[in-house]
Structure 1
Amino acid sequence: MTQQVAKGRELTMSRAMVEAIAHEMRENEEVFYMGEDVADYGGIFDSTQGLLDEFGHDRIMDVPISETAYIGAAVGAAQAGMRPIAELMFVDFFGVCMDQIYNQMAKNTYMSGGAVNVPMVLTTAVGGGYNDAGQHSQTLYGTFAHLPGMKVVVPSNAYDAKGLMHAAIRDDDPVVYMFHKRLMGIGWMPAPEGPKTDVPEEAYTLPFGDAEVRREGSDATVVTLGLHVHRAMEAANELADDGIDAEVIDLRTLVPFDTETVIESVRKTGRLVVVDEDYRSFGLTGEVVARVAEEALDDLESVQRLAIPDVPIPYARPLEEAVNPGTADIAEAIRTVTE
């Protein structure tokens, strides 16, 4: 589907997220936020900026540097009837607390035979592009999407960020809400054109599993998410001057996955480019290609995958830029499939 948003006030992605969180906290006293540097500091990527002033330390809680402890506490609070939002400062830190995420948060409803729900949101910052090396620059989309029991949300702009946050907090299942650092609109990390959008003041939700066609086209389908939605749009707009008409699909959520929109587009264009900031092997790019091959193989004429090669994210800026697909790389992939 292609959304139509009424013109109004523009927000950065971080402000849109905070607005949704504040609304849900006002409406439901069981909603609270916990994490490292989320209270007095307001989140290192402005994910909670201003919330402490309204809700105080009882509901916007700084925690000790123990991801195992506070994410475990969030799971327990959710099972007891609260709706916690727990922030994992960098997704790379999942290794510290994966037992709490995958063996508790994701599985406890199943393991209890449905006796308990775990209505919590795990927010986490993802992505590189600012030279923070191999332990603070990953996206790991595929890791979380691969593990059953969690919904996985990846907004690419402020409008989606707000609607998906409302939906995540209200959901009765655990949701992993992954926000890209480069899209948040913070001063020291400039965002590309696009993530700052018109956002309604009122609360609204966006359905999970409903991808968005950001640009309609007839020559090739580009499937991507997060930061690379904007890079794909840049590439598609550049190629339009050369007569190549690319369609760009923003997945928005990985779990549930909108296979139907992808298949419909590939049946129209016959050519597929999948772009991901996660690792190439065993990841999102392979999953998308496999789904298309299973359901629309006869319509598929050509395919290209762009992703991080199977190496840690380098610290040096030229090396980081070399491994992370850029606008020029996407444009070249589109040219390749349309030749």
Structure 2
Amino acid sequence: MKLEYNLPLLSIAIPTWNRAKILKLALNNLLPQILPFKDKIQFIISDNGSTDETAQVIEENKRNYSEINFIHFKHLTNTGYYGNFTKCRELANGKYFWLLSDNDYVVDGIVREVVNRLISDHPTFVFLSDWGEYVKEEKFKYIHFHKPMSINEALVKYNYKLTLTSAVIFLNFKQHDSNYLEEFRGNAFIGYIFFMTSLINKGNAIIIYGKGLLTNYADISFNVFYAFSVELKKCLKYAVGKKLISKAIENSVINNSIKDLTANHYIAYRLNGKIFGEGVTDKDQIESLLKQGFEEYENYKKVLQPLFRLSKNGLKIIYYKKKIIKKITKRIISNA
């Protein structure tokens, strides 16, 4: 039997498919950060049957970083995100699990900061609180600092932001993986449910401030309205039922996601006639879906439902108001 101290501290996993150029940039930034911690980190890439140059990119990096505990698994056929995620979970044997997307760029210094925090603080999870958009010319140089926080305080403060699993490094409890994988098969938030179920350990969280992730734009493959009104809600209600979180946390996550995300997605849909991801695209069907999923929550009636009655001109006014406020806020922060 393998002794626990022979297992890695951290498993970093990337599921990928047909994004060779984007993946290459991500690995160029990530692997040099892993190298100094080669004895503590297991690195996994699960390739979902790519037909571009993804395999060559991975193998070239594996040769160049032969000292790293580097696992490359390739599916013979595309198994969908679910199958690729499942393989990442299956291969990960570190104490902590960090699932990145192939379009995530981990800012220089973040891997060191994460590993140091895991070693010194033994947190239930680490959260990278600041993200941004990848810009080719950007040099990825940021100052990072951290702060301990209770689990409950972190869940309240960061609510729906914790659904971005690329920003959360959490305990890798695998005892019930098969149950969760079956229960949440096809759920866009399957990574989030694994994070939620790791909260059975009621320790502390560590929040890392300063830009930690930069994301290269990629098309969304899931229907954002269905994902948040049905799939996220299912995850939260499951966690409440298992007493991992309170009902108040569930309400906070959903209400804030309605205000900050779904309302904006709805406005964009009405103005552009397009939807992020596939699925229902008819206005009446979308509004029916949102009502069914969100009606029990305060911000459905307060924020979302009033948008249904507005004309395109009314929605444009709201859109430009939000844009102006965002620009002013950004300027204030940059001048602070």
TM-score by length of 2: 0.31
Higher-Rg structure is 2
TM-score by length of 1: 0.31
| Structure whose residues are more often strand by fraction | 1
